[in-house]
Structure 1
Amino acid sequence: VGKTTLIKEICNQLEVLDNISSPTFSLVNEYETSKKEKVFHFDFYRIEDENEALDIGIEEYFDNNAWCLVEWPENIENLLPLDAVEIHLSILDDNQRNIQIK
């Protein structure tokens, strides 16, 4: 659908200096912007229990006041901040992408 591609473009706009890749096995990648700001990129596809996210300190990441970009957020739905911005991606019948922001 393009989750990682979207995150790469967001990171590009934030002027991230690092190489962007999906953290499928590590769960989180940390990047730095040209302004020395932190950006955290999570991929919770392989997570089986929200406790795995708690074990890596997800609450501290979210409380950090940094960008937190999350792939597969439905796997940690109860841990997401109430003010999180949701971007929903889907592919329509005619192979076009649909993007909804909530």
Structure 2
Amino acid sequence: MEITIKNLDTIHEAAKEFVKGMGEGKVFAFYGKMGAGKTTFIKALCEVLGVEDVITSPTFAIINEYTDGNDEPIYHFDFYRIKKLEEVYDMGYEDYFYSGNLCLLEWPELIEEILPENVVKVTVEEQADGTRKLSC
């Protein structure tokens, strides 16, 4: 799947397209440079899925839990500040990753060795013209 986000005005349409292509996936790892738009896209994705909570980056908390429009949990992770893999073990990552609920991961490259086999890797890249390209 490849999706182009032309600007912030079209991000929700891109999120809807992403949802249509999600298939059976539950764990999505978002790769991209700082400022590529990972958090902004995840926020739009959660809104499309019916989250009414305030959606913010879990940079300091590591994980935020939201509730979608079907009262199902969505787990949003940001591993940017992880110093050691033991921190992820201590938080009980397996309970989340293997829960059957949607998990959206930022900075997954820092925990690559413990990602589930069925993780969907999504790359977010800023293009020369300012658009963003999502590919998985």
Q: Does 1:36 align with 2:71?
A: yes
Q: Does 1:11 align with 2:52?
A: no
Post-superposition offset of 1:90 = 1.3
Structure with more relative contact order (C-alpha pairs < 8 Å, separation 6 or more): 2
1:69-88 matches, within 5 Å, as 69-88=104-123
Q: Secondary structure at the match of 1:86?
A: strand
Deviations 1:1-44 (A, max 9, x none): 10111101110121112110000001000001121100000000
Q: Which residue of 1 aligns with 2:134?
A: 99
Post-superposition offset of 1:97 = 1.9
Q: Which residue of 1 aligns with 2:16?
A: none
RMSD: 1.1
Q: Secondary structure at the match of 2:40?
A: helix
- Aligned residues: percent identity? 45
Structure 1 Cα separation of the partners of residues 128 and 68 of structure 2: 37
Whether the aligned pair in 2 keeps the contact of 1:30 and 1:39 (CA below 8 Å) is yes
Structure 2: runs of 5+ lacking an equivalent: 1-35
Post-superposition offset of 1:99 = 1.7
Q: Does 1:60 align with 2:100?
A: no
How many residue pairs get aligned? The number is 101
Structure 2 Cα separation of the partners of residues 50 and 90 of structure 1: 26
TM-score (ref. length: structure 2): 0.70
| Residue identity opposite 1:83 in structure 2 | N
Q: Which residue of 2 aligns with 1:89?
A: 124
Structure 1 Cα separation of the partners of residues 90 and 128 of structure 2: 39
TM-score (ref. length: structure 1): 0.92
Q: Which moved more, 1:45-54 or 1:68-77?
A: 45-54
